[in-house]
A = this chain, B = another copy of it.
Amino acid sequence: MTPKPTMRTVAAKAGVSIATVSRVINCPDEVPTETVERVRAAMAYLKYRPNMNGRRLKMAQTRSVGVLVPTMANPVFATSVQGIAQAAHEDGLTVLLTSSEYDPERELGAVSTLLNNRVDGLILTLANADDNRVIDLLISENIPFVLLFNQPSRTDVASISVDNAKSAYDITQAMIAQGHRKLAMVAGRFESSDRSRQRYDGFCQAINDAHQKDGAAMAAPRLCQVGFGETDLEGILESFLTGPDAVTGLVCSTDMLAIAAISACRTYGLSVPGDVSVGGIDGIAVGGLITPKLCSAVQPTQKMGQQALAFLLGLIRGQTEPQSLLLPHQLSTGESIGPARHQSSPRL
């Protein structure tokens, strides 16, 4: 088998120099059609493939972007990657994909690898966007990057997100409006997700506001923290769903948790929304298909991915001021939230 053809091989075959071959590839307009055709013929005959690594080595830009998400197992992130991949395809960019499994150490390692690959820029969903070594690293190396789903408190980094606190606030408020007074939030561990914390803050805020401004007799907000990848919430939710202090509504910091929570309710013989109301945040596709239809603060996940890439391209092209964009979320009209059970004693 002959070795892989290079520009040199093609040049020899077509009886031209490699500079001409390069020109045929990159700017065919500056080369007479007759020559272009001869070179193209040679390329086809030899099944020539330009070697991107050679090109990258020479050029300032690599036309590749790095992507880091916590995990692909959560449809939210998968869908955002779908958006990124789509937009990247349209711009002819190569996507290098990594996942952190919610582990800050791995975040740093993954980004480091991506930088070794000399990506032109990065799109990141970090566990915690504040006081993060990854961000310091990227800024010190002066690499364009866009945060996705993170809402950093600092203003000098670009990000695309929904308003996490507001999302949680709104869905909580929707429950309060239905008469719920004893609420708990089900959320991922704060160390592993700043979104989780921001959403919890919104949850608490909604309860406090209802309490103080509207004088509603709200019970103190409660919190049920869940490890990531945890799908079996039965045990963990027991103290929230049974006994005299049982809540009537669960606000979940993600739709995956919400769906798992609904499932857990069922195992306690509690109906949703008859006995317990459940709300989510994210708006994953499957949420709209299940019974009861999940009520959620929906974010345009895929669009956000596309948008993030568009942003990144701007930064790469030298746009100096990093922008932050907070996209609007939307409460879906779901059935998983209903009127609060009226003071009936909880079962069991």
Contacts and interface: CB of A to CB of B under 8 A. Distances in A.
A94 interface: yes
Contacts of A225: none
B291 A262 contact: yes
A71 interface: yes
Contacts of A112: 49
B72 A79 contact: yes
Interface in A69-99: 71-73, 75, 78-79, 81-82, 85-86, 89, 94-99
Q: How extensive is the interface on chain A, given as a class?
A: 35 or more
A54 B51 CA distance: 12
A54 B57 contact: yes
Interface string A115-153: 111100000000000000000000001100000000000
A99 B115 CA distance: 23
How many of these chains are in the complex? 2
A116 B50 contact: yes
Q: Shortest 8 CB-CB distances between A and B: which pairs?
A: A78-B78, A72-B82, A53-B56, A97-B97, A263-B289, A290-B290, A72-B78, A259-B289
27 contacts: A50-B116, A51-B57, A52-B118, A53-B56, A53-B57, A53-B118, A67-B97, A72-B79, A72-B81, A73-B78, A73-B285, A85-B97, A85-B98, A86-B99, A86-B101, A89-B110, A94-B113, A96-B96, A256-B286, A259-B286, A262-B291, A263-B288, A263-B290, A263-B291, A263-B293, A266-B291, A290-B291
